[in-house]
Amino acid sequence: MRYSTQFLLSAMAPEQFPAPSVPEIAFLGRSNVGKSSLLNTLAGEKAAKVSSTPGRTRAINFFALLDESQRRRLVFADLPGYGYAKISKSISAEWPKFIEPYLAERDALGLCVCLVDSNVPPQQRDAQLLDWLRSVDRHFVVVATKIDRLSGNERTRNLTALRKGLEIDDVLPVSAKTGAGLKELWARIEAVRIGS
């Protein structure tokens, strides 16, 4: 299905979250993982631009995806990129205080799309986030970005390392550059809509 994207708002506190309506999909990942590029291909340039506007990079940016008859079908929540230097005990130590309530308590949240870079070995910071999502019973899919940069052998090796290091059964390789894997990712996202 073709959607058009409508920017809803940037939230810096739980009171500002939009009234829950349709299922929400959250996008998470360390800075530089390729989140803007992926959003750009999934939801259009406007979404990526809004999310990278100064002042909005530390917010949760909400977008509605509208079908042909302008009905709201899904909401994308673009979460601030987290850092890669610090390893902290609490998942939210380097995150604004409203992120954890969003992920833990938002009833409309149907799926977390967790981005990891396929060119980078498994990171403790990402493993921590996944552990935490498991602890709050969130559905998530781990997406390995920038897969176009890897040869066939490297691809297999790196994806295996990610599965092991992050203790996951499945990782979905994608490329915002070539479009590889995006059909599968859409299928996962739309299954949330149908399933709820």
Nearer residue to ligand GDP within complex by CB, 61 or 130: 61
Residue 90 CA: distances (Å) to CA of 35, 80, 128, 131: 23, 16, 9, 11
> Interacting stretch for ligand GDP, rule CB under 6 A, among 2-10, 69-77, 93-101, 142-150?
142-150
Among 176, 185, 189, 192, binds ligand GDP (CB under 6 A): 176
* Size, binding site for ligand GDP by CB under 6 A: 16
Distance CA 52, CA 129 (A): 22
**For the chain, first and last CA: distance in Å?**
17
Q: Is residue 34 a contact residue for ligand GDP (CB under 6 A)?
A: yes
Amino acid letter, 86: K
Residues in contact with 75: Cβ distance below 8 Å, sequence separation at least 6, in sequence order = 8, 18, 21, 22, 23, 24, 25, 62, 63, 64, 65, 108
Pairing of strands 72-78, 60-66: antiparallel
Nearer residue to ligand GDP within complex by CB, 72 or 155: 155
> Interacting stretch for ligand GDP, rule CB under 6 A, among 3-11, 18-26, 27-35, 158-166?
27-35
Among 6, 9, 22, 37, binds ligand GDP (CB under 6 A): 37
Among 5, 103, 175, 189, binds ligand GDP (CB under 6 A): 175
By CB under 6 A, the residues from 82 to 141 that bind ligand GDP are none
Q: Is residue 79 a contact residue for ligand GDP (CB under 6 A)?
A: no
Give the number of residues written for the chain. Answer: 196
Applying CB under 6 A, the residues found at the interface with ligand GDP are 29, 31-37, 81, 145-146, 148-149, 175-177
